[in-house]
Amino acid sequence: SGFSDCHNGRLLITERSEDGDEVVKMSNITGECGQQFELPHGWTHNHTLVDTAALYGSEKAVGAAIKASGRPRADFFIITKPLTKALQRMLNGSNACARFDDQLHDLQTDHVEVLMYHHDGFDVADWKSMEAQVAAGHARALGVSSVVDAEAAAECYQNGDCNFPPVLVEDR
């Protein structure tokens, strides 16, 4: 099935082989705005882990693919990243989650499993905006994409300045 949107992103996909072993694959999706593209063969049949982001521009396509799969939402573990500092400036966002409702709408879901902090340098205000999404039930947990940010978030939590520690660290 094809989807038409602006995309430039990656899907990190976990498949289960016939013998039951987990295999993680990376799949790139690129295209010009309005261009038709195909998701990787079999994407809607075996994959459970989806890694996307506002920055990748692929959330609408990912949401459409999940819906088109016919599989229940519970079959998918979705990780997404809120607005980066650069996107916040471009879109006049007040914090990382200023447009998170739009991201959920594009993903066609009411929550993600992990909301991943994906910035250069830890910002307490952005982390708190992400914590608000956990408190509202729109994210199950928070993660970070660098060890440095993980240490800063953990320190913020230990000092009592933040309410949620990171539960996933993706060291880039």
Residues 144, 44: Cα–Cα separation, whole Å: 27
Residues 57, 45: Cα–Cα separation, whole Å: 23
Is 56 one of the annotated active-site residues of the chain? yes
Q: Which residue, among 15, 152, 7, 77, has the nearest Cα to 166 in the 3D structure?
A: 152
Amino acid (1-letter code) at residue 165:
P
Residues 118, 85: Cα–Cα separation, whole Å: 9
The DSSP letter of residue 73 is G
Angle between helix 59-69 and 100-107 (nearest 10):
40
Looking only at Cα atoms, what is the longest distance across the chain? 49
Distances (CA, A) of 4 to 30, 99, 167: 11, 22, 34
The residue annotated as part of the active site, out of 3, 43, 56, 127, is 56
CB atoms within 10 A of CB 17: 9
Residues with active-site annotation: 56
